[in-house]
Amino acid sequence: MKAYETVIGLEVHVELATKTKIFCGCSTAFGGAPNTHCCPVCTGMPGTLPVLNKKVVEFAMAAGLAMNCTITQKCKFDRKNYFYPDLPKAYQVSQLYLPICRNGGIEIEVNGVKKTIGIHEIHMEEDAGKLVHDPWEDVTLVDYNRCGVPLIEIVSEPDMRSADEVIAYLEKLKLILQYLGVSDCKMQEGSLRADINLSVREVGAPEFGTRTEMKNMNSFKAIARAVEGERKRQIELLEYGKKVVQETRRWDDNKDTSFAMRSKEDAQDYRYFPEPDLVPIEISDEWLSEIRGRQPELRDEKKKRYEKEYEIPSYDAAIITGSKRMADIFEATVAICHKPKEVSNWLMVETMRLMKEAEMDSEELNLSPEKLAALIGLLDAGTINRPVAKEVFEKVFKEDVDPKEYVEKNGLGMVQDEDLLVSTIERIIAENPQSVADYRSGKEKALGFLVGQTMKAMKGKANPGKVNEVLKERL
Amino acid sequence: MELTKLTALELAAKIRAKEVSVSEAVEAQLEQIEKKDSLYHCYTSILADEARARAKEVQKQINDGTLTSPLAGVPVAIKDNICTKGIPTTCSSKMLEHFRPPYDATVVECMNAAGTITVGKLNMDEFAMGSTTETSYFGVTKNPRDITRVPGGSSGGAAAAAAAEEAFLTLGSDTGGSIRQPASFCGVTGIKPTYGTVSRYGLIAYASSLDQIGPIARSAADCAAALDVISGSDKRDSTCVDREHYGYLNALTGDIRGMKIGMPAGYFAEGLDEEVRKSIYQAADVLRSLGASVEEFDLKGVKYAIPAYYVIASAEASSNLSRYDGVKYGYRIEKFEGLQEVYKNTRSEGFGNEVKRRMMIGAFVLSSGYYDAYYNKALKVKALIKQSFDEAFEKYDCVLGPTAPTTAMKLGESLSDPLKMYLGDIYTVSVNLAGLPGISVPCGTDKSGLPIGMQLIGRPFGEKEILRAADAYEHAE
C-alpha cells in the first residue's frame, strides 16, 4: 500500500450565548414548549423585517480577535435561498461576500508538537427551526424556537492531518469560545456542531484529493471515529483504483460507517445576494478597540500566569485552566483564602474524583468558592483534621452544605482536650502489648497501627500529628 | 355640501370646527363607496362596522382635546399589501386571500395615532407586480375617469379611490412607479418618498431595496400632511433613517421663486405621447411664471434603468416571495404526496402569471454563473443612475418630466405584451433605483379627457422642495 496523507478542514457552527435572537427580541433559551420562543419576525410573517442584535456582532468580533483574524470593518449580510419547512422565510440570512472575520489561526499541540491551524473566515448567520416527526400520526411538525438563534460559522483552512489534530483543534476552539463567554458550546444541545471536509492524497502529492463532507457531527468521539472511518474508506477506494466522489455523506456512529447523502451534481444553487432588509455593518476603529480592550484572559495566558503567580505545577495549571468553570472557581477561592496550592489540590484530587464518580462535565461544576475557602480555613485553623475535611468536602460538593455549620452540627471538630488524648493513648498502649513490643524492637509499622487505634477510639476527631507525638513519648 | 368632494385637510378643519362630526364623515364616505365601488372596484375589503365604531372613539378624543393632528377624523384607505391587525391583507393574491396579520404595519399605527379612520383595504396588482391593477386575483379596478381604461398600478385601487372620492386619502406603495403612475392615470397626486423616509415594517415586500410607502390624495397638501404622519425612524426597520423636523405641511409656502428645475432632454424623445409632452412643457411654463427657472439638461445613464430595475426587483422578489410555500400561512393545496408537491402545487396554484414570471426572472438572474452578468451589472447601473442624479442635483433643486409616457391604456391591452408594459415604467423606475423622492401631479388632460401627470423628482430627502413646487403649481391653475 502506498503512503497516504489525510487532509481535513472543519466548518464549525456555534450558537452564541446572547439572551435574545439575532433579528428579534425572542429568547434563545434551550428547550421550551414548541413554538413558544417565536414572534412574527423569526417566523417570517409577511411584512416583517429583521433588526440586527448588536451583541451578535460583538461576540463574532471577540471570537475573531481571539483567533487572530482580521476584522472586516465594513461587512454585510447576504441571503442564502433554499426551501425547507424549518426555514420560514425560505432563505437564511448569512454572510457570503464579506464575512466579519478572515485570515486567522490558532495554535494546537498534539504529542508535544505545536502547529497552527488557519482560520479561513468566521461569519454570522441565523439558525433554523427543527422538524419533529410524529410516527404515531405519521405527520411532521415544525418547532421554530431555534429559528433565529445567532450562530457563527468558523471555517478552518484544510490544515489538519489526523483525527488527533481535529480533536485538539476542536478542544482549543471550545475553550476559546467558553473563555470569551460567547457560547456555552454544549454539543449535546447542538450549540457546537461540526462539518468535516476530508480528502486523502499520496504523501508528497502537490494537489489535494477529492473531498467529501460529513455534516452536523455533535460529539468529539463520533468525530474522531468518523475521520478515521472516512480516511480508511477513501484510501480503500484509491487502492482499488476507484475514485472518490465529491459528495455529502452522513456518518452513522452506530454502524461505524458513512453513507452518501447527495453528490455535487445535486448540490443546491443558493442564489446568494446581499440582504436588502439590513444596512451594511460599519465597525468603527473605536468599537473595534473597545472590544479588543474587553477581551478576557484566555487559556494559554492564564496557564502561564498560574504557574508564575501562584507557583502551581504546569500539569495542575493545565488541568485547572482546561475548564473555564474550574479556573473561575479556582481564582474566586484563592481570592478569599490566599492559598493557591491548597485550592489547586482540592480541585485536582477530590473534585476530579467526585466529578468522575458523578460522570459530570467540568462546565456543570457547581462548587461554591466561599464554601471551599471556608473549608480550607477550618483545616488551616486546626478545627478539623484532613480526613474529616475530605468528608465535609464531599458534602459541600454534593449538597452545597456550609462547612462550618456542618462541622458544628455533627461535632466533627478536633478534640483539643490533651488529658483525654493522653488517657486514651495510655489505654491503647495497655490493650496492645504485642504492637508495643514490636515497635520497641524496631518495627516502625506498629506505630501506624497504634495511631489508627487511637484515632478510632477518638472517633477520628483527634489531631493525627498530636497523636503521633504523644504516642512516641509514651513508648 | 358634498362632504366627499373635500380634501382631507378641508374635512379635518370642518371636523375641528364642529361643522361636521366624524361619524357624518365616515357615513358619507361609506355611502360613496357603496354607490361607486360596484362600478370601479377600488376595494378588496370594506370595514364599515370597524370604521363606525372607531369614528365614535376618534370623535371623543377630538372633543376632549387629546387628538389635535391635522388629519384627525379623516376616513382613509390602505393598499392591501400593508398589514392591518386582524384584517385581511391579501396583496390581491389567492396566496394570501385569507391572511390576517397578527400586527399592524408601522404606518398603520402612525395613521391610527393621528386619528384617521381606515374604511377599507385597496385593490392592487398581485404582490404589487404590474402597472394596471389587472393582475389582481380579485379582478381589475376601473379608471374612474374612463371605465374602459386601467387605473394604472400597482396602487390602482388607491389612486382610483382618491379620484372617485371613495377615499379622502390613501396609502399606496411604490417600487418602480406604483404610486406615481396610477396617480397620473387617475388625475390625483401621489408621492413616493426618499428610500428610508417611511418605515417598511408591515409592508409585504416586493423588492425590499426599492419599496417605499407613500400617500395618494387629491392635493399636494394632503400628501404632505400624510407624510408628516408616517415619516420617521422605526426601531423595527433598520433601513429607515432618523431625520428630525419633517414639517412637510409647513414647507408649503407657495413661494418657489428662484427654484431651479431641470428637464432631462432625453425624457422628451422617442416613445413619449405628443399630448403628454405638450402638457409637461405647459406645466414648465406655469412653474416659470411662478418664479422658478426651468431648463433642459442631459441626464445620463437612465437608458438602462428598465432592465436594471427588472433584474434587481425580480431578484429580490424571487427571494421575498419564497416564503409562500404552503407550510405556515396562506394558501395550501388540499391534496399532496410529500413536501415537493406541497411546494410545487401550492405555488403553481396560489400565484398568478405575472408574479411567476418575475420570480422566474429573479431566480435566473441570481443563479450560479449568471449573477455577475445580470444582478451585479444591474447594481452597477443602479450606482451610475444615482451618480447622474447626484450630478443633476448639483445644478437643480428638482427634476421635471412626465410620470408616464402615455395616458391610461384600455383594459386588457397590456398583459399580452409584458415588455411593452415594462417600458411604460421608463420615467419612474430610475427614481426608485436612485432612492429619490418623486411626486406625480395632475397637469391637464389629453383630447379624450384622460389625465396627464407630471413628475417632480427631488434630491435625497428633498420632499419639501417637490411638495412645495407641486402645491404652488396646483394653486397657480
CB contact under 8 A, B319 and A91: yes
ipTM for this model: 0.95
Same domain for A128 and A212 = yes
Q: Write out pLDDT tens, residues B268-327.
A: 988 899 999 999 999 999 999 999 999 999 998 888 999 999 999 999 999 999 999 999
Cβ neighbours around A387 below 10 Å, total: 13
Asked whether the beta carbons of A30 and A224 are under 8 A apart, the reply is no
CB contact under 8 A, A81 and B327: no
SS3 B333: coil
Q: Write out pLDDT tens, residues A16-51.
A: 999 999 999 999 998 899 999 999 999 999 999 999
Count how many domains chain B has. Answer: 1
Same domain for A456 and A400 = no
- How confident is the model at residue A188, as a pLDDT? 83
Query: Rounded to an integer, what distance in angstroms lies between the CA atom of residue B244 and that of residue A231?
Result: 63
Cell of A313: 505545577
User: Which residue stretches of B205-273 are H helix?
Assistant: 220-230
Strand A192-202's sheet: what is its strand order?
Answer: A70-71, A101-110, A113-126, A150-156, A4-15, A192-202, A212-217, A247-252, A257-263
Least confident of A83-92, B341-350, B421-430: B421-430
* pLDDT of B103 above 80: yes
Q: Is residue A315 part of a domain?
A: yes
Q: Is residue A291 part of a domain?
A: no
Same domain for A260 and A162 = yes
Please state the φ and ψ torsions of residue B248, each to the nearest 5 degrees: -65, -40
CB contact under 8 A, A83 and B325: yes
**What's chain A's average pLDDT?**
92
Query: Rounded to an integer, what distance in angstroms lies between the CA atom of residue B211 and that of residue B175?
Result: 4
Query: Rounded to an integer, what distance in angstroms lies between the CA atom of residue B59 and that of residue B20?
Result: 10
CB contact under 8 A, B238 and A79: no
Query: Rounded to an integer, what distance in angstroms lies between the CA atom of residue B212 and that of residue B252?
Result: 22
Angle at B287 between CA B283 and CA B288, to 5 degrees: 115
Same domain for A165 and A228 = yes
- How confident is the model at residue A108, as a pLDDT? 96
Q: Is residue A42 part of a domain?
A: yes
Which amino acid, residue A264? Answer: K
- Which residues of chain B does A43 touch, with a Cβ-Cβ cutoff of 8 Å? 328
| Chain A nearest-CA residue for B91 | A46
Residue of B105, B319, B368 with shortest CB distance to A47:
B105
- Which residues of chain A does B235 touch, with a Cβ-Cβ cutoff of 8 Å? 51
SS3 A419: helix
- How confident is the model at residue B477, as a pLDDT? 60
- The DSSP string of B148-163 is TB---SSSHHHHHHHH
Rg value, chain A, Cα? 30
Same domain for A364 and A316 = yes
Strand A91-94's sheet: what is its strand order?
Answer: A91-94, A78-81, A273-274
Query: Rounded to an integer, what distance in angstroms lies between the CA atom of residue B333 and that of residue B353?
Result: 18
Q: Is residue B26 part of a domain?
A: yes
How many CB pairs below 8 A link A and B?
Answer: 96
E strands in A234-334: 247-252, 257-263, 273-274, 281-282
Q: Is residue B47 part of a domain?
A: yes
> Residue A455's closest CA among A415, A418, A419?
A415
Same domain for A138 and A20 = yes
* pLDDT of A216 above 70: yes
Q: Output DSSP code: residue A265.
A: G
Q: Is residue A54 part of a domain?
A: yes
Average pLDDT over residues A150-169: 97
Q: Write out pLDDT tens, residues A168-184.
A: 999 999 999 999 999 99
Q: Is residue A68 part of a domain?
A: yes
> Residue A50's closest CA among A88, A97, A96?
A88
- How confident is the model at residue B244, as a pLDDT? 66
CB contact under 8 A, B201 and A44: no
> What is the extent of the structural domain holding B293?
1-300+401-415+437-477
**What's chain B's average pLDDT?**
96
- How confident is the model at residue B212, as a pLDDT? 98
Q: Which residues contact B235 (CB under 8 A, 6 or more apart)?
A: A51
Report the half-sphere exposure of A463 (CA within 13 A, side-chain side). 17
Name the pairing type of β-strands B293-297 and B212-217. Answer: unpaired
What's the gap between Cα A123 and its chain centre? 22
With a pLDDT cut of 70, the percent of chain A lying above it is 100
Q: Is residue A292 part of a domain?
A: no
Cell of A300: 494559554
Same domain for A41 and A156 = yes
Cβ neighbours around A18 below 10 Å, total: 19
Cβ neighbours around B139 below 10 Å, total: 12
Count how many domains chain A has. Answer: 3
SS3 B240: coil
Contacts 24+ apart (CB under 8 A), A464-472: A464/A385, A464/A386, A466/A418, A466/A421, A467/A421, A467/A425, A470/A421, A470/A422, A470/A425, A471/A425, A471/A429, A471/A447, A472/A447
CB contact under 8 A, B201 and A79: no
Query: Rounded to an integer, what distance in angstroms lies between the CA atom of residue B441 and that of residue B464?
Result: 15
Last residue of a domain, one of A409, A437, A458: A409
User: Which residue stretches of B207-352 are H helix?
Assistant: 220-230, 274-289, 305-320, 338-350
* CATH number where B232 lies: 3.90.1300.10
- How confident is the model at residue B420, as a pLDDT? 80
Q: Is residue B372 part of a domain?
A: no
- Which residues of chain A does B209 touch, with a Cβ-Cβ cutoff of 8 Å? 276
Which amino acid, residue A174? Answer: K
| Chain B nearest-CA residue for A274 | B316
- How confident is the model at residue A449, as a pLDDT? 86
Cell of A286: 473605536
Report the b/e string of A394-403 with b at 16+ CB within 10 A. ebbbeeebbb
Q: Write out pLDDT tens, residues B104-117.
A: 999 999 999 999 99
Min Cα distance B165 → chain A (Å) is: 29
Same domain for A353 and A457 = no
Distances (CA, A) of B254 to A379, B57, B440, B444, B467: 91, 35, 17, 20, 10
Same domain for A422 and A405 = no
Same domain for A437 and A313 = no
Asked whether the beta carbons of B244 and B207 are under 8 A apart, the reply is no
Which amino acid, residue B315? Answer: A
Angle between helices A369-380 and A324-337 (to 10 degrees): 40
Q: Is residue B226 part of a domain?
A: yes
* pLDDT of A466 above 80: no
Q: Is residue B441 part of a domain?
A: yes
Query: Rounded to an integer, what distance in angstroms lies between the CA atom of residue B444 and that of residue B7?
Result: 19
* Residues of chain B in Cβ contact (below 8 Å) with chain A: 82-83, 89, 91, 96, 99, 101-103, 105, 200-205, 207-209, 235-239, 315-316, 318-319, 322-323, 325, 327-329, 339, 343, 363, 366-368, 371, 375
* pLDDT of B231 above 80: yes
* pLDDT of A1 above 80: no
Average pLDDT over residues B433-454: 97
Average pLDDT over residues A285-293: 97
CB contact under 8 A, A271 and B319: yes
Q: Is residue B354 part of a domain?
A: no
Place of cell 468529539: A220
> What is the extent of the structural domain holding A330?
297-409
Same domain for A433 and A308 = no
Going A410 to A416 to A419 to A423, the CA torsion angle's sign is positive
Place of cell 470593518: A73
Query: Rounded to an integer, what distance in angstroms lies between the CA atom of residue B467 and that of residue B220?
Result: 6
- How confident is the model at residue A189, as a pLDDT? 85
Residue of A46, A271, A278 with shortest CB distance to B367:
A271
Min Cα distance B441 → chain A (Å) is: 29
CB interface of A with B, residues 91-110, below 8 Å: 91
Q: Is residue B345 part of a domain?
A: no
* CATH number where A438 lies: 1.10.10.410
- How confident is the model at residue A129, as a pLDDT? 95
Kindly state the helix (H) or strand (E) to which residue B215 belongs, with its residue range.
strand B212-217
Min Cα distance B244 → chain A (Å) is: 20
Going A437 to A439 to A445 to A451, the CA torsion angle's sign is positive
Least confident of B62-66, B71-75, B368-372, B379-383: B368-372
Confidence of residue B245 (pLDDT cuts 50, 70, 90): low
Last residue of a domain, one of A375, A409, A443: A409
- How confident is the model at residue B1, as a pLDDT? 59
CB contact under 8 A, B325 and A89: no
Which amino acid, residue B343? Answer: Y
Q: Write out pLDDT tens, residues B136-178.
A: 999 999 999 999 999 999 999 999 999 999 999 999 999 999 9
What's the gap between Cα B140 and its chain centre? 17
Same domain for A67 and A171 = yes
> Residue A99's closest CA among A78, A128, A80?
A78
Average pLDDT over residues B50-72: 97
- Which residues of chain A does B339 touch, with a Cβ-Cβ cutoff of 8 Å? 85
Top mean pLDDT of A351-360, A416-425, B79-88 is at B79-88
Name the pairing type of β-strands B451-458 and B398-402. Answer: antiparallel
Rg value, chain B, Cα? 21
Q: Is residue B6 part of a domain?
A: yes
Q: Output DSSP code: residue B103.
A: S
* pLDDT of A267 above 90: no
Least confident of A116-120, A208-212, B419-423: B419-423
> Residue A124's closest CA among A197, A187, A71?
A71
